[in-house]
Amino acid sequence: MCYLSQPLDVSSGVCDPSAGQPHRAALILARGGSKGIPLKNIKNLAGVPLIAWVLRAALDSEAVDSVWVSTDHDEIERVARVWGAKVHRRSPKVSKDSSSSLETIQEFIRLRPEVDIVCHIQATSPCLHPHHIREALQMITEQGCDYVFSVVRRHQFRWEEVDKKEGKNPRSLNIDVAHRPRRQDWPGELYENGSFYFSTRKALENGLKQLGKIAYYEMLPEYSVDIDVDIDWPVAEQRVLRFGYFGREEKAVVSLFLCKLSGCLTNGQIFTSVSGEDHVAINARDVAGIQMLQRENIEVILMSSVNEPLSRGLLEKVAQLAGCGLWFGELLNGFEVEWLIKKKKLRWDEVAFMGSESEDREILSQVGLNGVPCDSPVANLIAAKYTCQRPAGNGAVHEFAEYILMLKKKSLLPVHQEHIDRANF
């Protein structure tokens, strides 16, 4: 963490501690008219809506009093509410292509007189963690800063841009060409990375033109991710799987995987032969996913209701082909699953569950890790820890199984498991 003080001609806008604790609001701006990637703020990144990565970090930081999404789009509003944020419907005046972030934030604070500090977080920074928010906010609440922004250290040599028609030689801007430094011998330079901008209400009301104490918060390069165009997406997806914040339960190791048979392992279709026999199809990749979990000592149980239209014999045959257990429930609700978990001497946070219907919401909300196929009705109703790219019966179970194993590997490694070479990142 580094600091830059720039005293100007006005006093600090930090609230007087004697007047009570300042209200700290996290604010994510998410306009619906993204040009580079349409509706990119809610497009799934590694199974989670892009905006949800920063919402989860803000909500779990316990450093802010409220978390808001400012938007002009109905679908973004729906996703924001599902993930636990409040929503500010911005006016058309600040929803134009030409509207600045500052104008949008100023509208927000005019309508929220209780807000003293705004933690403006970019939705396109999915590797943000709660400790980044806590530490940067302390620079305002405890160190008297008016404005704090995030930076990253880069080792890049910069050159002057020239008009090629003039034939002029470009000039080096930050190195001596005759004595080009080795990377490990050069501290590099700080670049604004756009992850967040925290400021006092007074600083925002003054249009950031008059500031007292300014500071920067240096983020490690592995957490510095920005998504602007399509080509950034696959890179960001790999980075977030390695360095992203997965929520409070990311350290829990799954011991039991419960999966609804209909709507997850199968797509819900029933095929009837001329002779009157019912048939269902299951994907070989999904079976392979179940076997992957079992090899890692994770028990897998398929779940089905006694009211399932398929015969019990056919369901048992499917479970036999998948090589796992089958459990019939009367209602398949939280009470029944809790009984099963206690019987196996496990806790809720040791259980992963994959469901697809609205009646699965209760179980999905209680387990440590949940997943849904992309085509499931419940996907629009809950903040799923993982939403598969594949539909039910077509590899969704295999995809979620890979995600479970990725988190298990992550949880078993020490904090600095990546062994990043900071000098050559």
Strands 278-279 and 271-272: antiparallel
CA 6 to chain centre: 34
In 3D space, the residue among 86, 13, 79 whose CA is nearest the CA of residue 42 turns out to be: 79
The CA-CA-CA angle for residues 352, 356, 360, to 5°, reads 70
Cα(243)–Cα(419) distance, integer angstroms: 12
Q: Of 405, 347, 343, which Cα lies nearest the Cα of 371?
A: 405
* CA within 13 Å, CB half, 244: 28
Candidate list 81, 180, 248, 347, residue with the active-site label: 180
Q: Is 214 exposed, middle or buried (0-12, 13-18, 19+ CB in 10 A)?
A: buried
Question: Is 56 one of the annotated active-site residues of the chain?
Answer: no
Phi, psi of 62 (to 5 degrees): 60, 20
Q: What distance in Å separates the CA atoms of residue 362 and residue 375, rounded to the nearest whole number?
A: 19
* Residues marked as catalytic: 180
